[in-house]
Amino acid sequence: MDQTLQAHVKLDVVSDVVRISVRGSLTQASRPSLMHIIQRIRRMGIISHIRVDLGLAAFVESAALAGLRNDLNAIDGGASGSEVAGMPAPGGVSLELTAHRDDSAALPPLDMAGEFTASIDPSGTRKLHRFSDDELFAASDSVFGLLDDPADMARSELLATYDEIGMEISRREVGREPEPA
């Protein structure tokens, strides 16, 4: 059996999530490589939530999964899996074990080679009031397209993102100032 991890790392700017899709095998031998990827993302200055998708992995060793959970709890202080208003907690790491369609295919891969300076503002995300009207409408269309897929069952984070975008568009139509962060 192939023991390689085969992890694909992508940054989803709209939902402020780094997605690590494991397609190979998570074993005791490959677990340190996955932890290295997660720690490298943090050292790059990216504070977005990290979602490790093991649903499409060829093989997941139970001892490696338990060890990964322990490692993540140690580096995140037990914050993995927590949510804020239906969204994954910023800076946390969550594990997804169920197989589902890969909606990250359209996302650009995150270059993990060399030095990297994050291009996002210090808060970790770009506030919606900083997006142009065209960018907001494109984001709205993109999220709505994901909601329209019956296989996803309208996940709560997509609904929350779609609602936030709608509120920003409505705020602009009325001409109100952005709410303070």
Domain ranges of the chain: 7-96, 128-174
Q: Residue 63: name the closest of 71, 52, 55 by CA.
A: 71
Taking residues 76-83, report their average pLDDT: 50
Per DSSP, 25 falls in state: E
Taking residues 126-138, report their average pLDDT: 77
Q: Give the integer Cα–Cα distance in Å for 176 and 90.
A: 27
Is the pTM for the entire model greater than 0.85? Answer: no
| Predicted pLDDT at 52 | 93
pLDDT digits (tens, 9 = 90+) for 8-29: 999 888 888 999 999 999 999 9
Confidence class of residue 158 from pLDDT cuts 50, 70 and 90? low
| Predicted pLDDT at 121 | 37
Of 49-53, 67-71, 89-93, the least confident: 89-93
| Predicted pLDDT at 33 | 93
Q: 66 or 82: which carries more pLDDT confidence?
A: 66
Per the CB < 8 A criterion, the answer to whether 25 and 2 are in contact is yes
CATH 3.30.750.24, domain 7-96, yes or no: yes
| Predicted pLDDT at 51 | 92
| Angle ∠(73,19,6) on CA atoms, nearest 5 | 90
Amino acid at 104: S
Span between the terminal Cα atoms of the chain, in Å: 50
Q: Residue 87: name the closest of 157, 165, 15 by CA.
A: 157
